[in-house]
Structure formats: C-alpha cells, structure tokens
DNA sequence: GCAGACTTGGAAATCGTTTTCCTGGAGGTC
DNA sequence: GACCTCCAGGAAAACGATTTCCAAGTCTGC
C-alpha cells in the first residue's frame, strides 16, 4: 500500500508539499517540485486514502441515497436522476434499500451518519405512523447536528428540503379527466392503508369525484406493487360489473390490474378502463398503453440531489405537478 | 460532533475501554464500566466515525458496485441481489453507473480503490476493446495489490471471480427450440457490434442454426436498449417478409421490437415470432408474453457478491445456465 | 500463603491525510 | 540600502478511531 509519505520520500519533498500537489489545495507549489511529485505518484501508483482524507478534512464526498426497492422502476428512475447530479459533481453515492421496512430506513440514516456522508436523500413514501416518523426525524436531527444535509423525494413530513409530487392534485385532475370521458362509477386500487403516497392519491381522486357530484368510488386496498394491483383487480372482476373505470394508484399496480383483467377475459378498455400514476418509462410499451399521471421522476431525483448539495437557510419545499396523460387504456363512454 | 473521547470522558473511563465497549473487540470489559459507557454513548448520541475506523482498522465495510445503467431492469435486478447479500452482512454498497462509458468504469475502479472499499463488483458486458480491457485490468490489479477483492457478473475477461451467464449456450438452445417450432428463416437483432454479451448471444444463436443446417439469419445491429430493438425491428418490417422469427439479444430490445411491429400492423406471433433473452421480471406482463431465456439475475448478483466477500486462492468462474421459456410471442409454424 | 496464569483497565503509538504555523528568501517601495 | 510584504516549503499538530503493550488485580492450585 503506497502512501503519501512514500511519494513524498520518493520525490524528496515534504509530506505537506506532496499533499498540496496531489490533492487540490489553495496553496501553490513551484513547478519543479510539482513535477517531481507527480512523477513519483505516477511511478508508485499512488491512490489517496479517502478514509484518511475524510478524517482530516472532516467531510467526505459521498452521498447517501435511501430507496425502498431498486427493482421498482419508480425508484430506479429517481435514483438515476439523483446519481447523475452526484456524478457531475464528482461525488459517490451509497445506496441503501429498505424493502419498505421503516426500521431499516432509520438504521440506514444512522449508518450513513456514521459514514459522515455529506448528504442523505430519502426517497419514497412515508408511512402514516407517528412513532416511526418521530424516530426517523430524531435520527435525522442527530445527523443534521453533525453537519449533514437532508433532502427528500416525497412527502414533506421530515422538516427537510423536499421535492413533493402533487399526488392529490394529480389524482384529482385525473379524476376530472376520466369523468370528462363519461365515467361515473369508479374503483380505486388504493394500495396499503398506511402509505401516505397511496392515501394522498386516493383522497385526491375521491375529493375530485365528490366535487363533481359523482358517487363514491369503490376502494380496494392491497400492496403497492404489481401483485397488489393484480390481486385487487382480480377481486374486483369477480364482484360487481357496474364499475367502468379503475384507478390504480401507481403504474406498476395498473400493470398488475391489466394482467388480472386479461386473465379473466375482461377487455381493457372496452369492458373497463384502467388508469395509473407515475408514467413509468419501462411501461410505455404496455398494451393497451396506460393512461396515467406523468411525474418527471429523474428530474425529481436530480432536483432533490441539488437541494441537498446546495443548502439554504430555509427549508425548501418544491412542488412538482403531475401531468395527466390519456392513452388507450381508458375509453370514452358514449 | 460527539467523539469517542467525549463518551469516554463522560463515562469516566479511558478511550480504550470506550472503544472496546462500543465497537466490537475481542477484549472483555467489566459489566459496570460497560454499562457506564453505554449510558454515556446513548445520552450523548454518539455515532462512530467510520472514516476514522476505516483508517485505524485498515479496511472499511463498504462494497463498490459498478453497473451500466440502473434504470435498465437487468442491472436493477442484479444490483438488488447483490445488495441483499451485502445488507445481510452489514455492509454498505456504493454504486456507480457508467452509462456504458468504459472510461467511467475505469474511473470508478480508481475511485473505489481510493475509498478502500472491501470489494468491487463489476457487472455487465465488456466491450470488445483490447485497449480498454487492458487498462481496466491494470486498474483492477492495482486495486487487488492493495488488498481489494474483485468479482464480475458477465464475461470472464478480467482474471477475477466471475459469475458468467451461458450466453452462447442459452442462445443456442433457444435457436433449437425455435427451430423445433418449425421456424427456418430468422433475424437477429444483435445489438452493438462491440458488445461481448450481444456478440456471444448472436454467435451462439447462429452456431446452433448452422449446426441444424438452417440458413444464415439476417443480422441487424443497433443499440442494446429498447429503442435499439425498435429501430432494428422497424428496419426489418420495411424490408423482407420472408422472416418468420426474430431473436432480440435481450428482453428490453424485444420489447422495442414488439412495439415496432405493433406500430406497423405486423402481428406477433401470427405474422412474425419474437424472442428475447434475460426474462426480465418487470416485462412478464407484456402482451404477447415474451419467449426468452431465463437468467436468475438476482441470484447472479447475490452469488457474485458472495464470491467477492469470501475470497479464495484460485480464481473461480461460475457458469450460470439460461433456461429457455417459450411463451406466446413465438408460435408454432405448421 | 504464594507462584503463576488470567483478566481488566489505561497510556500511548498508529493509521494516512490535511492544515496551521513557522522560517527563510525574493521582490517591491521609499 | 533598510524595511515590509509575499510566497514557497517544511515541521508538526490535528482528525477519531483501534490496538499494542504494560501494570495492577483476581483467581487457581498446591
């Protein structure tokens, strides 16, 4: 293991000079010495020890990123956007996946704190659990006290810079668009009861329907993933036929719903319309193509990273509006 | 920032004792002191400084993971498997995305070396470029000299532990299966010319056809992603009609091909059969469902992580066989 | 009751950098 | 030419842990 001292010795200069040459400093070093140090470093194959640098400088160049599930394209897209920004600034990203376990999320913040990462990005929906949220906030506060930055993608529940998608508003606008197509009797595949994102989308949707004087939609809970959408839609297909339009609170669930209907011979959109939320890129080629609310996921991730990297006095909440996109999976009722 | 010294002082013990209590050690500490230290740490909200630990111990608990593109479900699945193993051992994962730029890959190895990560996992296809491969190997050697472990998912080109999917064999078996369905005139959406994975799958497929005495398939190059599949299939649809089966060298390209055919009124599988490779989970709900070669991606990622974490004397190459899965996108010719 | 073995606690060296001082020489001004 | 400023270079003190070595007890066995 070749250290800076080896390089300095080999170049015949002091440790300080070698450090100044190799790892950026405000101080100047004369050209001849500079050249000697660079030569020596090259010859010996010197690689700075980041742990030592982090210790000495008191701050590293690593960012912590916490997601629920990397395989979910929603998180993959956000992570991708965030990582591009980090890369462009020469920072490494440390990723933790919670698999939707809030305890793991708290544990990750603690670990990332120990790693003295420069900032932590928390992405994904919070649970509607005061206890857990409180403990998470506590852990975050501890991290901030030691100089860390925090940013979120999702709900503004943690007192940190947040990129907040307009879940309720987007869902409401979707509801109005679907009502505009003539739909009256809806079902909502609402995901888990305790998940704030799912709840916001559900209530936004219901609220808009109520404002239009339309009947209450049928609410079906389930998991927030493809299988949850499948199961919920399957239950629906068995039960009543009077529903003309199903809103799944995310695209992946909508994909599951599509599969469930297909397996049961229910045609989409002829027999029932289906809409999702997120506009996941990987799912654009589904047949029928999915009506949904588009969220600029990569941009949201990128923006959150920027917020974390360029701290401000005040807590900043940036709202991101979703854009309703009507495609083939929802039809106009005559 | 509360340090171990603060804790020790607060508990009225020495630094050494505090260290032994809080951060695992072989040495015992008496119950009363132990309790005092734990109390103090709790009260002060002590979080160990990993940079300092890494420096003192000479080895950190971070793993480096290099992927080409996190949004590509292929890499997401591998990364997920790898990260689960890392998590189960209490290790953090630092992720770098190359966006298919081999220079970035080399740069990442260098950065991860500087970070003194315990192991580096390189996933994804190598390019068929001797220069780049040589330089990457050089960087890896430098990393290994300083005690790092390396493992790959993909081709065995780097002299490191490798989990190697049977690309050629899987493609060959797929070719035989498709021939068994009565197909004779094939096209291969072969991806980029220089990409080893793409090349292996293409040559495996061609080889099997040749062995069966079937005519040469038509080879169309393009990018390795959805749009590449779309463009290649689009070109194909314009040109000849005599082709009855199209093999896209990965599922994402096959999805693009499906879309291209659909847009042009070419029915799959009635007019043309389509097969892919990988069996991406997110794509299981495509219509028609995709015939493909299943690769246990998450397991491969997990296995590579295990190889990296449990080093051996000899370089280990583990071959993973793909399993042909025939679904709806390929039909039997009568 | 005592030699030897084992255990527990602490002082201090160490890990590889950065950075603060300090020093001596060069350059500029009057 | 004296004085002041500026600057390149080096010695040494952090940074926050771990770990080696040493000293002082505490057991054990006879």
Predicted pLDDT of residue A240: 64
Predicted pLDDT of residue A243: 92
Predicted confidence (pLDDT) at residue A262 exceeds the cutoff of 70: yes
> Tokens representing B210?
């040749």
| Nucleotides of D strand lying within 7 Å of any protein CB atom | 7-20
The three-class DSSP label of residue A243 is: coil
Domain-embedded: residue A328: no
End-to-end CA, chain A: 76
Phi, psi of A127, deg, nearest 5: -90, 155
- The answer to whether B61 CB is within 7 Å of strand D is no
Distance B116 CA to C24 C1' (A): 39
Same domain? For B129 and B224 the reply is no
**CB–CB of B71 and A70 under 8 A?**
no
pLDDT band at B140 (very low <50, low <70, confident <90, very high): very high
Identify the residue among B86, B282, B300 best suited for mutation to test binding to A, counting A beta carbons within 10 A and taking the highest: B282
- The answer to whether B309 CB is within 7 Å of strand D is no
pLDDT higher for B128 or A331? A331
* Alpha carbon of A55: minimum distance to chain B alpha carbons (Å): 6
Distance A39 CA to D7 C1' (A): 24
Same domain? For B210 and B256 the reply is yes
Cβ–Cβ < 8 Å for A293, A279: yes
DSSP summary character for residue B283: G
Domain-embedded: residue A55: no
Same domain? For A222 and A270 the reply is yes
Predicted pLDDT of residue B59: 79
Same domain? For A287 and A175 the reply is yes
Across A57-71, A74-88, A239-253, which has the greatest mean pLDDT? A74-88
Domain-embedded: residue B17: yes
CA angle B20, B23, B25 (to 5 degrees): 50
Predicted confidence (pLDDT) at residue B67 exceeds the cutoff of 70: yes
Cβ–Cβ < 8 Å for A23, A29: no
Predicted confidence (pLDDT) at residue B87 exceeds the cutoff of 70: yes
What is the Cα–Cα distance from A70 to B198, expressed in whole angstroms?
Answer: 25
Percent of chain B having pLDDT more than 90?
A: 84
Total residues belonging to chain A: 334
Same domain? For A77 and A132 the reply is yes
Same domain? For A258 and A308 the reply is no
What is the Cα–Cα distance from A276 to A252, expressed in whole angstroms?
Answer: 8
> pLDDT tens digits, residue range B181-236?
999 999 999 999 999 999 999 999 999 999 999 999 999 999 999 999 999 999 98
Predicted confidence (pLDDT) at residue A25 exceeds the cutoff of 90: no
Burial of B209 (0-12, 13-18, 19+ CB in 10 A): buried
pLDDT, average across residues A103-108:
94
Same domain? For B285 and B223 the reply is yes
Tally the domains of chain B.
3
pLDDT band at A232 (very low <50, low <70, confident <90, very high): very high
Cβ–Cβ < 8 Å for B274, B290: yes
B164: closest CA among B13, B300, B25, B40?
A: B300
Same domain? For A240 and A134 the reply is no
**CB–CB of A142 and B76 under 8 A?**
no
What is the Cα–Cα distance from A7 to A43, expressed in whole angstroms?
Answer: 9
Please give the C-alpha separations between residue A19 and each of B143, B146, B181, B308, in angstroms, as whole numbers.
Answer: 21, 20, 67, 32
Contacts of A71 in chain B (CB under 8 A): 73, 76-77, 80, 281-282
Same domain? For A174 and A111 the reply is no
Within 10 angstroms of residue A287's Cβ, the number of other Cβ atoms is 17
> pLDDT tens digits, residue range A114-167?
888 999 999 998 888 999 999 999 999 988 887 889 999 999 989 999 999 999
Predicted confidence (pLDDT) at residue B24 exceeds the cutoff of 80: no
Same domain? For A307 and A282 the reply is no
pLDDT band at B240 (very low <50, low <70, confident <90, very high): low
Domain-embedded: residue A134: yes
Which residue's structure tokens are 């039809």? A331
What is the Cα–Cα distance from B178 to B273, expressed in whole angstroms?
Answer: 9
> pLDDT tens digits, residue range B173-183?
999 999 999 99
- We report the CATH number of the domain holding residue A200 as 3.40.50.2300
* Alpha carbon of A214: minimum distance to chain B alpha carbons (Å): 33
> Which helix (H) or strand (E) segment is B156 a member of?
none
User: What is A74-106 written as a DSSP string?
Assistant: HHHHHHHHHHHHHHHTT-EEEEEE-TT-HHHHH
Contacts of A282 in chain B (CB under 8 A): 71, 73, 282-283
Within 10 angstroms of residue B332's Cβ, the number of other Cβ atoms is 12
pLDDT, average across residues B150-160:
93
Predicted confidence (pLDDT) at residue B237 exceeds the cutoff of 80: no
**CB–CB of A114 and B77 under 8 A?**
no
Domain-embedded: residue B328: no
pLDDT, average across residues B140-146:
87
- The answer to whether B16 CB is within 7 Å of strand D is yes
Mean per-residue pLDDT of chain A: 94
Same domain? For B234 and B195 the reply is yes
Which candidate from B45, B69, B116 shows the least CB-CB separation from A51? B116
Domain-embedded: residue B156: yes
Predicted pLDDT of residue B25: 77
Domain-embedded: residue A274: yes
**CB–CB of A116 and B49 under 8 A?**
yes
DSSP summary character for residue A250: S
Domain-embedded: residue B303: yes
H and E: helices and strands count for chain A: 12, 12
Closest chain A residue by Cα to residue B142: A45
Q: Which domain holds residue A31?
A: 4-48
Same domain? For A89 and A149 the reply is yes
């Amino acid at each position: 293991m070749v250290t800076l001292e080896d390089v300095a010795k080999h170049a015949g200069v002091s440790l300080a000079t070698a450090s100044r040459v190799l790892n950026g400093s405000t101080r100047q070093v004369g050209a001849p010495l500079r050249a000697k140090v660079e030569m020596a470093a090259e010859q010996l194959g010197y690689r700075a020890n980041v742990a030592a640098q982090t210790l000495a400088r008191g701050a590293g160049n690593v960012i912590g990123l916490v997601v629920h599930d990397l395989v979910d394209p929603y998180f993959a897209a956000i992570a991708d956007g965030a990582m591009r920004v980090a890369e462009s600034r020469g920072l490494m990203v440390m990723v933790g996946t919670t698999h939707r376990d809030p305890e793991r999320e708290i544990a990750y913040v603690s670990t990332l704190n120990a790693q003295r990462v420069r900032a932590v990005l928390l992405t994904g929906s919070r649970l509607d659990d005061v206890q857990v949220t409180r403990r998470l906030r506590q852990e975050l506060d501890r991290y901030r006290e030691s100089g860390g930055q925090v940013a979120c993608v999702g709900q503004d529940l943690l007192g940190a810079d947040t990129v907040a998608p307009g879940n309720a508003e987007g869902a409401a606008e979707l509801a109005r668009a679907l009502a505009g197509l003539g739909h009256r009797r809806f079902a909502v595949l609402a995901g888990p009861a305790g998940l704030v994102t799912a709840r916001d989308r559900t209530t936004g949707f219901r609220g808009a329907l109520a404002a239009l004087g339309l009947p209450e939609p049928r609410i079906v809970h389930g998991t927030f993933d493809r299988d949850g959408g499948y199961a919920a839609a399957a239950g629906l297909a068995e039960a009543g036929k009077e529903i003309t339009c199903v809103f799944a609170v995310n695209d992946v669930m909508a994909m599951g719903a599509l599969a469930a209907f297909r397996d049961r011979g229910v045609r989409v959109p002829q027999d029932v319309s289906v809409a999702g939320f997120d506009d996941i890129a990987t799912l654009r080629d589904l047949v029928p193509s999915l009506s949904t609310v588009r969220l600029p996921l990569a941009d949201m991730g990128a923006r959150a990273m920027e917020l974390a990297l360029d701290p401000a006095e005040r807590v900043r909440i940036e709202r991101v509006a979703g854009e309703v996109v009507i495609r083939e999976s929802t039809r106009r009722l005559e």
